[in-house]
A = this chain, B = another copy of it.
């Protein structure tokens, strides 16, 4: 298996990316890694390191896409960027999965423009794994599609279910629809329709999930449009930060609680680690013709190693093929239902 790595993307690139690649090579014997970026910079970071040269190769790319660049434009004009060159390798079948810690917008745009939609997929979605009190959940979509049709939400549910089953090993993943109430009749125009469509699939649809139950582990896959998903994902990040800062203020307000906090420090560190979602890997582009993983921009070497582990399981599990097959089955069933209805109406 060949994993293509954007060596230039992310706050700590290329050091953390290359470091993470070497860690992963040590851990997983069945992978090889292709590092894409300025070859002399990559060579410099590899110099003096111990690794199997048969399992690392470098593909030169002279440009870089900056975080603030308009994504579609960046993908279209920077043909020699590490992102475009790397994605082209996957599109041409010269790599199994592309992994980057670079611009989210460019990753989404590039995945759609270069690697392209898988057959039967209406719109690819960006899906991060988020921590919950019970473990973790996949959020589909977190920003690739801000305006969504109900049928897209159904596909998000199906694709998310496949991912959690195949990569995260969750048996019969519970798929929930993020909504403003638990009852079936609750929701806006979009979610009310999506509810009916999701109910009619073979996945384990557990119905509407309210905001308060998301973090309490009410579902394994949380479905929403990219607008709501983006607000939720970033709100979680902000909440964790704000709550910890509020708690810290209180803990620092007396000598007694300061001492308590010092004693409990290892517990606080473990908690922080649990909340650090780079532990769970990056966000997936679900619904494109190949693996694309977006690691957090601030990823360190360990986060990159985790994302490589995820890329490996994603490829081994044949997620892309499974998505195509299950969506085709849904489309077939719908066509059959339509034909049957028409036949009846003509009788």
Contacts and interface: CB of A to CB of B under 8 A. Distances in A.
Interface of A: 131-133, 143, 146-147, 178-181, 187-189, 191, 210-217, 225-228, 230-243, 245-247, 250-251, 253-254, 256-257, 259-268, 270-271, 274-275
Contacts of A217: 242
A180 B235 contact: no
Contacts of A243: 215, 239-240, 243, 275
A263 B255 CA distance: 10
A219 to B, nearest CB: 12
A262 B257 CA distance: 9
B247 A271 contact: yes
Contact of A180 (B143, B179, B216): B143
Contact of A263 (B191, B231, B234, B259): B259
Contacts of A237: 211-212
A266 B256 contact: yes
A238 to B, nearest CB: 4
B254 A267 contact: yes
A72 to B, nearest CB: 12
B274 A246 contact: yes
A212 B259 CA distance: 31
Contacts of A187: 146, 227
Contacts of A143: 180
Q: Is the interface of A mostly helix, strand, loop or mixed?
A: helix
Given A215-B238, A238-B212, A241-B215, A253 B267 contact: yes
B242 A132 contact: yes
B245 A133 contact: yes
- Point out which of A131, A233, A262, A263 has the most chain B C-beta atoms below 10 A from its C-beta: A263
A250 B228 contact: no
Contacts of A254: 266-267
B242 A147 contact: no
A186 to B, nearest CB: 8
A267 B262 CA distance: 13
Given A263-B257, A264-B264, A133 B270 contact: no
Nearest to A264: B260
A270 B215 CA distance: 23
Nearest to A266: B257
Contacts of A253: 267, 270
B188 A146 contact: yes
B212 A235 contact: yes
B211 A231 contact: yes
A53 to B, nearest CB: 42
